């Protein structure tokens, strides 16, 4: 049978004609889908969905000679939609994980800063949470720039140890 006859027959409800049309292009459909998703199972899912979409929209085909063009276009759109959904899902998962990790890290840092002694805690808060310069911190606390620097260094060392211990637990 010629392609026009097969397509017209499939449009009229002949499932065997539709099967013949699709089965002679199944390898091409799979290779195209695989080139998009690089995964056997996903490529097979895309081919299955493409065949289904083509079957339910057979009556929309205006020119039977363009059946394979129509089939290919549905396959490409299905593959692109699949990748878009997969990307959106991956981004949502990454965003959720990043937010969770960020909030857990922030909580750990806040707890560690809270556990610092008097001046160490004050210097860390003023420097990193309130953006004061070291000179401004010295002026506010009434101590020299050298003292602020040494206390900041000591506070950072304590925080580093505390946060590393929490990381390895």
pLDDT of residue 167 exceeding 60: no
Residues 7 and 78 in one domain: yes
Contacts 24+ apart (CB under 8 A), 59-65: 59/11, 61/7, 61/11, 64/3, 64/4, 64/6, 64/7, 64/8, 64/11, 65/3, 65/4, 65/7
- Find the domain containing 50 and state its range: 3-89
CB 125: neighbour CB atoms within 10 A? 16
Confidence (pLDDT) at 93: 45
Query: Among the three residues 70, 89, 108, which one is the final residue of a domain in this structure?
Result: 89
- CA dist 70 → 22, 55, 76, 103 (Å): 12, 11, 10, 49
Query: Among the three residues 89, 106, 132, which one is the final residue of a domain in this structure?
Result: 89
Give pLDDT tens digits for 34-87: 888 888 999 999 999 999 999 999 988 889 988 988 898 899 889 888 988 876
């Amino acid at each position: 049978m010629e392609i026009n006859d097969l397509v017209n027959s499939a449009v009229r409800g002949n499932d065997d004609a539709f099967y013949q049309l699709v089965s002679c292009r199944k390898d091409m459909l799979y290779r195209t889908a695989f080139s998009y998703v690089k995964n056997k199972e996903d490529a097979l899912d895309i081919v299955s969905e493409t065949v289904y979409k083509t079957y339910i929209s057979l009556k929309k085909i205006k020119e039977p000679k363009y059946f394979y063009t129509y089939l290919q276009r549905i396959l490409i759109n299905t593959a692109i939609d699949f990748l878009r959904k997969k990307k959106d899902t991956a981004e949502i998962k990454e965003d959720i994980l990043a937010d969770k990790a960020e909030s857990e890290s922030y909580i750990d840092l806040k707890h560690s800063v809270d556990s610092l002694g008097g001046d160490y805690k004050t210097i860390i808060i003023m420097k990193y949470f309130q953006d004061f310069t070291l000179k401004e911190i010295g002026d506010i606390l009434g101590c020299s720039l050298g003292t602020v620097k040494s206390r900041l260094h000591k506070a950072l060392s304590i925080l580093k140890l505390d946060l590393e211990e929490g990381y390895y637990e």
